[in-house]
């Protein structure tokens, strides 16, 4: 049995992983930027929102009336929601420095992993082109 996953599908999945990692890192950076803003509530990118954004941007179509339709949006931005369950300071701000730094580190690691796989994929392509 041959390879059932196309190169285009792999590249697309890696691109989506990198986009999600960037969105998570941007949300954490925004939280850190508002560390001392009174009343600011921590924001995060949730899996459900990421999934809905990816489905809306994909070529998924409803071919049967029993299928679940996807909502089409005009924006590629991944929306954020307020993080629940975090203790707030006296000024109402609930941003926690260590929590946000950990989220940024995890997002950077996810991006780096996808970048490494993508670089290796391009090395394979270069090797195939240059092989005689």
Q: Tell me whether residue 42 is in a domain.
A: yes
Give the residue from 97, 78, 73 showing the smallest Cα distance to 24.
78
Mean pLDDT over 115-127 rounds to 90
Q: What is the predicted pLDDT for the residue at 21?
A: 93
The answer to whether the CB of 103 falls within 8 A of the CB of 13 is: no
> Considering the entire predicted model, what is its pTM?
0.70
Give the pLDDT confidence of 19-70 residue by residue, as tens digits: 999 999 999 999 999 999 999 999 998 766 666 666 666 555 666 666 655 5
- pLDDT of the residue at 36: 93
Q: Which structural domain, as residue segments, surrounds residue 76?
A: 8-130
Q: Is the dihedral of CA 11, 17, 21, 54 positive or negative?
A: positive
Residues in CB range of 50: below 8 A, 6 or more apart? 20, 23, 78
Q: How many domains does the chain have?
A: 1
* pLDDT tier, 6 (very low <50, low <70, confident <90, very high otherwise): confident
> Which tokens go with 99?
């929590």
Contacts for 20 with CB less than 8 Å, ≥ 6 apart? 45, 50, 78, 110
């Amino acid at each position: 049995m041959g390879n059932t996953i196309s190169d285009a599908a792999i590249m697309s999945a890696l691109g989506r992983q990198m986009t999600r990692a960037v969105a998570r890192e941007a949300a954490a950076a925004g939280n850190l930027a508002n560390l001392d803003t009174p009343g600011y509530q921590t924001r995060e990118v949730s899996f459900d929102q990421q999934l809905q954004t990816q489905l809306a941007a994909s070529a998924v179509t409803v071919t049967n009336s029993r299928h679940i339709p996807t909502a089409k949006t005009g924006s590629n931005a991944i929306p954020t929601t307020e993080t629940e369950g975090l203790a707030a300071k006296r000024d109402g701000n609930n941003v926690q420095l260590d929590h946000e730094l950990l989220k940024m580190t995890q997002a950077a690691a996810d991006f780096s992993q996808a970048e490494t796989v993508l670089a290796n994929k391009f090395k394979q392509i270069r090797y195939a082109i240059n092989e005689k």
